[in-house]
Structure 1
Amino acid sequence: MLLNLAIMLMLSIGLETRALRPLTTAPWSCRRWRYVSQLVISTLIGFGLFALLALPSIADEGKTASIRALQIPNEFRGNLSLEGYVDASTREAYDISFEEMFHHREEKFHPISGHGLNLGFVKASGWLRFAIERSPNAIEQREQAILLSLLPNMTNFIDVFVAVDKPGLAPKDFMKFEMGAYAPLLKSSFNGLDNVLRLQLPARGKLVVYIRAANIDSSLNLSATIYAPEGYGKRILNANLVVGLWIGGMLILIAVQLVFFFLDRRSLYGLLALHIAFTALAYFGGLGLSRLLLFPSGGAGNDLFVGSSNWLGLATGTLCIAKILELQERYPRLARLYQLGAVAGLVGVALVLTGHNRWFTPVSGPLILFVTTTALGVTMIDFWRLRHAEAALKLAAFALLWAGILLTNSQRYGVLPLPNWVSKSYGATSMIYFILITGSLAIRLRMAEETSRQADRKAIEAASAAEALAKRRVAERTLELEEAKRTAEAALQAELEAQKMQVRFMDVISHQYRTPLAVVRSNLESVRFTLPQDDAANRERLDRAQQAIRRLVEVIEINRGRSILQGSSFEPTVARLPLGTVIDHAEARIKDLFPTARIDRHDGDLLDTVISADCEMLSLALVNLLENSIKFSPADTPRVTISLTADEDLVVVEIRDYGIGIPKDELDHVVTLGGRGSNASHLEGTGTGLSLVVRIVAAHHGRFAISNALDGGTIARICVPV
């Protein structure tokens, strides 16, 4: 056992050195702290090895032919130690019988210096033998009641054989009491927290006691103590009070972690709460509470409960330490070893549930020692470098935890002849460890809050500065916008003046052309009257001249109307009139412009439909559409179709041509001011016709749409309310 533990400790040192190896590439200041930490850790482990290897576990002191008897004082109060009065037989066969041990007692039993067994993880049974008698100076010769306490209470099997010494004493004279975690609670027990047996000392003679102890999946430790019934109740009360305070403290620590998790949603707090809970459950079983409350009938249930809690505590504990020390960011290799430790904890749970815990349990002690040793080294480095309260609390926490684990493992593994209460060292130090770690986390949370406040203050200051800057920029931009507004208003005024000049110019042109054209037209009519009726050639020339005059007049009037609508005046003069009037007016005007164009009409019965419209404006929109349709149709035979349809409370005027059409992705572009199709660059135009149509239709509260026909050409629709 000593050699095995020494090998595991040296292996832990090697793993620690390998895990901290990334520090060797750091500057000398970091390597110095590494060397210091390794020196301290190696010194502590070396001291532990020295203590483990130098002290004896059980010392044989030779044989004796008779059993030494412990004399109980007449006024016995409190407790008496059996140290120096106990013979032991260790590492006997697991199923050896009491009869064989009794018949070979002089060969198998040897005096020991202590009062119990500490064999570690062995698949064997241990035996104790001692005798008790009343003091020869007792005033009254009567029986005396005493209590025999056997700890720890999680020992699986404890068989107590009791008989009054007499000549020819045989195994059949002994009374057997079955105790231990696998046996039901004795009716004579004071409670379920200890293995307590009430014995009656005879008035004369000795009471001989043989005790057999065995464990299945845990270390074999057993110590015997004599108590007086009068003082035992007070001891149990005090012990239960301590246990209650311990469990209550652990519950409070769990609640604190949950509060931390509510304030700062980090997985560390939930994981630490689980670690505290599993540690509390392990000691809940180790102290006998699970046996008393959950498994009063005995059996393997208590072992499964305690074993699973221990391994789950190891799994959550290694992950907690890795998160507390931020090993993933600082020492990735060491973090991976801790993750393997967590996996080992889950494997341990599986082995406990399948009944193979004995072969894996000895690994837990060195594994926990490695984890705490490396964590202690990291906290030493952090404290040496940072020197603040959080680092100091962590260092104190892991130092206490390391000491508690070292003492507990030394007692549980049977390396040192330590009393049974030493096995509670980890329970006591774990409570302080959790308190100190919680304190360090509270400091970290407070520092994080302070950092957050400072960040908020800086953010508010930055926001105030940004707001002041924004106000200055807004003021600057406001001045710029006011200047731009004045410039735009001046430009707009200039444009309006230009449009007025344009309209005035068109009025002048119309007036100046209309008078001479009228004179020319009247003279042509006079010439017509002077021509003979059979002069067909000259009459045809007169007709063409008059037609050219009408066309010129129509062009002037259309452009004058367009200039007026594109200028400052765009309010329609609405009147109720039949739709056919508007269409006829537009068709007459377009025929004056394009005499050879073919216009087909499909009016149905909608020509008499009354609409509210400005006849000049709406007919100008139709003229623009018809002009575009004729211009972009084949030059030899331009053909346009006008159709009227009804759509609920709207009447739809559809103009369809068979020309080049409009690219699909440019349909929205051609209706904007200056927009023209990419396939119309070979024809002259300003791109204002369709935009003017859109404005006119909108002024009449209607809708305009344009699309391509499936068989070629374009379809334009004007929808006006009835």
Structure 2
Amino acid sequence: MFAAIALGLYVFQASQSIAGDPKTASIRALEVPSNFRGNLPLDGYVDATAREAYDISFDEMFHHQSEKFHPINGHGLNLGFVKASGWLRFAIERSPYALDQREQTVLLSLLPNMTNFIDVFVATDRPGLTARDFTKFEMGDYAPLLTSSFNGLDNVLRLHLPARGRLLVYIRAANIDTSLNLSATLHSPEGYGKRILNSNLVVGLWMGGMLILIAVQLVFFCLDRRSLYGLLALHIFFTTLAYFGGLGLSRLLLFPSGGTGNDLFIGTSNWLGLTTGTLCIASILDLQQRYPRLALFYRLGAVAGLVGVALVLTGHNRWFTPISGPLILFVTTTALGVTMIDFWRLRHTEAALKLAAFALLWAGLLLTNSQRYGVLPLPNWVSKSYGTTSIIYFILITGSLAIRLRMAEETSRTADRKAIEAASAAEALATRRVAERTSQLEEAKRTAETALQAELEAQKMQVRFMEVISHQYRTPLAVVRSNLESVRFTLPTDDAANRERLDRAQHAIRRLVEVIEINLSRSVFQGSSFDPAFARSPLGEVIDHAAKRIKDLFPTAIIDRDDSKVLGIRPVSVDCEMLSLALVNLLENSIKFSPADTPRVVISLISHDDFAVIEIRDFGIGIPKNELHDVITLGGRGSNVSHLEGTGTGLSLVARIVSAHHGRFEISNALDGGTIARIFLPA
């Protein structure tokens, strides 16, 4: 009895289904169980077609559907980058065994959610059905969120199955600048809620993981200021933004009113991700140093990313975006090849992590591009492969960078330790050399002190010798001088010839005595006794004394005094004997190096600022300009007086005497020839 009732109900439902419009009679209807949970695949119940025109009307599609729609095995479209619109149609109905005659609600989910235009036309099948009987629902990210779907993350539409008959659904989808993919799935309200909860949990974990990876790169950058970490952080950031848009979050939070904003956001993020990604991979693998030609291609890939951003913003992304997938695949494939070579050569953990990272990234990109470009009939969830593998890729790359950073720190520690050891060894070597050098210096010091002591003893002996010479010569010279005077008294007054001979003899005796006295003074002042005995004396008297002494030595010399500027000079504190000796040395040099038979010297006394200046000017051969400083050093002589005898001690003794008087000694050449020597004494 129950079997008969059930059979009757089935025949009744079947008759109601068949009794629809003849144009839709060929559409296969999927029975929806009354108690189904989760999702219900539409595989085998969907017809599809593609039209070149975006704006083909639903009325035209409905009236000519018999020659346009064709059955497909799956439940969606995957047309790739085409300038066309895709159409799907299917029918669903309640199970004929359903005892509850109320309407049944199911959810139609259309993915991916970044499809620009999705129009859904829904109507209950009946005889005489026309296009005007369908209710149109505008979906897609160009439509306002409130009219598009009750869920911001998916394009979801509530479908109410009639108690009798079947529900017809037509879907039109179109994209402007991205690949055209669309899949349709039925969900129960309860199952869809659970799916969304799990999906949001996964998305949240993915987003949180990416943000953590960005934070890790920033920490690495603080520890090691390399641009690589900044590039990697930017790459992770733009990848996160791309999936932020691809998962529907940007449409939900930033562009709820629809329009082109979401497309611009996703397209810009993708191209910037390409730019930063190629630069990042080139830096990770050190391509500039190791493979400069390959690095050039990577830089061109980065430029292509920037061009893509410009094309997205100007609305021409469709003509350029198909190269992004192959370009990224080329970059990833070459990077995978480089990491394989590195692992084969190095066989360490960092190389292994890089190889695993690029292998996963390459596989994810290959699957994603195959699905997005329609190369293989893959389900829509395969397009998420890159998102899954990308976070694993970033984790593995971060791990390899952490190992590199650790190795760099270890290398730095090793280098520091070696540097400390080298510094310690250098310090020990320096200490030994300092000790050796100190010992050598002490030995040299003892040698110098011994030599100095010997020199001082020699100078003392020299002084004693000169004193002895002076004493030994003075006594006989005094006897000779007294005898000469006695002879003078015995000569007649008119014996002029003999009297002149006596004058010349006495003059020679005075000259010999003066020579002995001057050399004795020189030997004393060049020896150990060099303490001036200061007394305030008029400088004019000192100059006169020196001139008189030099006149005895050089009777033919002309010594002129210029007292035109002597006014205002008061007596100064000097050692008359030492200063007189200095003047004698200067006068002697001036006369000696004057070629004239009657050499001329001019002595001037000048007041200059706070100094009394004694100036001695001659008209001799002068001193070469570049030797003026050298002639006042001990033993220094001009190159133009090598033909004359001399020891080179005269001017150095003058400089010492002037320095002992806290004065300044200068010597220069006169413009019209000769030499000018100046002694500056504090007034």
Does the pair score TM above 0.5? yes
Aligned CA-pair RMSD: 2.7
The aligned residue for residue 241 of structure 1 is 201
Equivalent residues in 2 for 1:389-404, closer than 5 Å: 389-404=349-364
Structure 1 residue corresponding to 2:651, chosen from 686, 690, 698: 690
What is the alpha-carbon distance in structure 2 between the residues aligned to residue 286 and residue 637 of structure 1?
114
Equivalent residues in 2 for 1:11-90, closer than 5 Å: 65-90=25-50
The aligned residue for residue 618 of structure 1 is 579
Question: Is the CA contact 1:281–1:309 (under 8 Å) kept in the aligned structure 2?
Answer: yes
Question: Is the CA contact 2:559–2:603 (under 8 Å) kept in the aligned structure 1?
Answer: no
The aligned residue for residue 635 of structure 1 is 596
Structure 1 residue corresponding to 2:370, chosen from 410, 435, 445: 410
Quote how far apart the aligned CAs of 1:150 are: 1.9
What is the alpha-carbon distance in structure 1 between the residues aligned to residue 276 and residue 72 of structure 2?
40
Quote how far apart the aligned CAs of 1:536 are: 5.3
Residues 41-93 of structure 1: per-residue CA shift (max 9 Å, x gap): xxxxxxxxxxxxxxxxxxxxxx9853233344334543332222222112532
Gaps spanning 5+ residues in structure 1: where? 1-62
| Secondary structure class of the residue paired with 1:461 | helix
Question: Is the CA contact 1:98–1:171 (under 8 Å) kept in the aligned structure 2?
Answer: yes
The aligned residue for residue 151 of structure 1 is 111
| Secondary structure class of the residue paired with 1:582 | helix
What is the alpha-carbon distance in structure 1 between the residues aligned to residue 531 and residue 405 of structure 2?
72
Question: Is the CA contact 1:579–1:607 (under 8 Å) kept in the aligned structure 2?
Answer: no
Higher RCO (CA 8 Å, separation ≥ 6 residues)? 1
The aligned residue for residue 597 of structure 1 is 558
Question: Is the CA contact 2:138–2:148 (under 8 Å) kept in the aligned structure 1?
Answer: no
Equivalent residues in 2 for 1:182-331, closer than 5 Å: 182-187=142-147, 189-331=149-291
Read off the aligned partner of 1:654 and give its amino acid letter.
E
Structure 2 residue corresponding to 1:98, chosen from 44, 58, 62: 58
Quote how far apart the aligned CAs of 1:687 are: 1.8
The reply on whether 1:584 has 2:538 as its aligned counterpart is no
| Secondary structure class of the residue paired with 1:212 | strand
Read off the aligned partner of 1:297 and give its amino acid letter.
S
The reply on whether 1:669 has 2:633 as its aligned counterpart is no
Question: Is the CA contact 2:565–2:607 (under 8 Å) kept in the aligned structure 1?
Answer: no
| Secondary structure class of the residue paired with 2:630 | coil
| Secondary structure class of the residue paired with 1:706 | strand
Would the alpha carbon gap of residues 167 and 709 (structure 1) be closer, same or farther in structure 2, given more than 3 Å must change? farther
Would the alpha carbon gap of residues 712 and 277 (structure 1) be closer, same or farther in structure 2, given more than 3 Å must change? farther
What is the alpha-carbon distance in structure 2 between the residues aligned to residue 357 and residue 293 of structure 1?
24
Read off the aligned partner of 1:696 and give its amino acid letter.
I
The aligned residue for residue 39 of structure 1 is none
What is the alpha-carbon distance in structure 1 between the residues aligned to residue 300 and residue 256 of structure 2?
36
Question: Is the CA contact 1:179–1:186 (under 8 Å) kept in the aligned structure 2?
Answer: no
Question: Is the CA contact 1:188–1:198 (under 8 Å) kept in the aligned structure 2?
Answer: no
Read off the aligned partner of 1:328 and give its amino acid letter.
Q
Residues 76-112 of structure 1: per-residue CA shift (max 9 Å, x gap): 5433322222221125323323232222212211121
| Secondary structure class of the residue paired with 2:177 | coil
Would the alpha carbon gap of residues 69 and 658 (structure 1) be closer, same or farther in structure 2, given more than 3 Å must change? farther
Quote how far apart the aligned CAs of 1:530 are: 5.1
Quote how far apart the aligned CAs of 1:317 are: 1.9
Would the alpha carbon gap of residues 183 and 479 (structure 1) be closer, same or farther in structure 2, given more than 3 Å must change? same
What is the alpha-carbon distance in structure 1 between the residues aligned to residue 394 and residue 181 of structure 2?
27
The aligned residue for residue 126 of structure 2 is 166
Read off the aligned partner of 2:230 and give its amino acid letter.
G
Greater radius of gyration (CA): 2
| Secondary structure class of the residue paired with 2:145 | coil
Question: Is the CA contact 2:140–2:148 (under 8 Å) kept in the aligned structure 1?
Answer: no
The aligned residue for residue 14 of structure 2 is none
Once the two structures are overlaid, the 10-residue window that deviates more, 326-335 or 81-90, is 326-335
Question: Is the CA contact 2:139–2:148 (under 8 Å) kept in the aligned structure 1?
Answer: no
The aligned residue for residue 703 of structure 1 is 664
Residues 495-553 of structure 1: per-residue CA shift (max 9 Å, x gap): 11111111111111222222333333344444555556666555554444443333332
The aligned residue for residue 435 of structure 2 is 475
The aligned residue for residue 388 of structure 2 is 428
Once the two structures are overlaid, the 10-residue window that deviates more, 626-635 or 277-286, is 626-635
Would the alpha carbon gap of residues 482 and 78 (structure 1) be closer, same or farther in structure 2, given more than 3 Å must change? same
What is the alpha-carbon distance in structure 2 between the residues aligned to residue 297 and residue 639 of structure 1?
114
Question: Is the CA contact 1:606–1:644 (under 8 Å) kept in the aligned structure 2?
Answer: no
Read off the aligned partner of 2:621 and give its amino acid letter.
I
Structure 2 residue corresponding to 1:360, chosen from 307, 314, 320: 320
| Secondary structure class of the residue paired with 2:149 | coil
What is the alpha-carbon distance in structure 2 between the residues aligned to residue 197 and residue 530 of structure 1?
163
Question: Is the CA contact 1:580–1:608 (under 8 Å) kept in the aligned structure 2?
Answer: no
The aligned residue for residue 570 of structure 1 is 530
Question: Is the CA contact 1:122–1:219 (under 8 Å) kept in the aligned structure 2?
Answer: yes
The reply on whether 1:719 has 2:680 as its aligned counterpart is yes
What is the alpha-carbon distance in structure 2 between the residues aligned to residue 275 and residue 265 of structure 1?
17
The aligned residue for residue 612 of structure 2 is 651
Would the alpha carbon gap of residues 148 and 64 (structure 1) be closer, same or farther in structure 2, given more than 3 Å must change? closer
The aligned residue for residue 3 of structure 2 is none
Structure 2 residue corresponding to 1:490, chosen from 421, 434, 450: 450
Once the two structures are overlaid, the 10-residue window that deviates more, 441-450 or 396-405, is 441-450
Quote how far apart the aligned CAs of 1:429 are: 0.7
Question: Is the CA contact 1:597–1:630 (under 8 Å) kept in the aligned structure 2?
Answer: no
The aligned residue for residue 378 of structure 1 is 338
Quote how far apart the aligned CAs of 1:388 are: 1.8
The aligned residue for residue 410 of structure 2 is 450
| Secondary structure class of the residue paired with 1:127 | strand
Question: Is the CA contact 2:634–2:649 (under 8 Å) kept in the aligned structure 1?
Answer: yes
Read off the aligned partner of 1:515 and give its amino acid letter.
T
Question: Is the CA contact 2:569–2:607 (under 8 Å) kept in the aligned structure 1?
Answer: no
Gaps spanning 5+ residues in structure 2: where? 1-22
What is the alpha-carbon distance in structure 2 between the residues aligned to residue 366 and residue 546 of structure 1?
123
Once the two structures are overlaid, the 10-residue window that deviates more, 76-85 or 671-680, is 76-85
| Secondary structure class of the residue paired with 1:660 | coil
What is the alpha-carbon distance in structure 2 between the residues aligned to residue 626 and residue 184 of structure 1?
115
What is the alpha-carbon distance in structure 2 between the residues aligned to residue 191 and residue 471 of structure 1?
81
Would the alpha carbon gap of residues 334 and 524 (structure 1) be closer, same or farther in structure 2, given more than 3 Å must change? same
The reply on whether 1:554 has 2:514 as its aligned counterpart is yes
Q: Aligned residue pairs: how many? A: 660
What is the alpha-carbon distance in structure 2 between the residues aligned to residue 84 and residue 562 of structure 1?
131
What is the alpha-carbon distance in structure 2 between the residues aligned to residue 602 and residue 65 of structure 1?
144
What is the alpha-carbon distance in structure 1 between the residues aligned to residue 101 and residue 458 of structure 2?
141
Read off the aligned partner of 1:388 and give its amino acid letter.
H
Would the alpha carbon gap of residues 426 and 515 (structure 1) be closer, same or farther in structure 2, given more than 3 Å must change? same
Quote how far apart the aligned CAs of 1:216 are: 1.9
What is the alpha-carbon distance in structure 1 between the residues aligned to residue 496 and residue 113 of structure 2?
142
Q: TM-score, normalised by structure 2?
A: 0.89
| Secondary structure class of the residue paired with 1:366 | helix
Residues 285-334 of structure 1: per-residue CA shift (max 9 Å, x gap): 22222333333333333323322222222222223222322333333333
Would the alpha carbon gap of residues 212 and 540 (structure 1) be closer, same or farther in structure 2, given more than 3 Å must change? farther
Quote how far apart the aligned CAs of 1:436 are: 0.7
Q: TM-score, normalised by structure 1?
A: 0.85
Once the two structures are overlaid, the 10-residue window that deviates more, 227-236 or 609-618, is 227-236
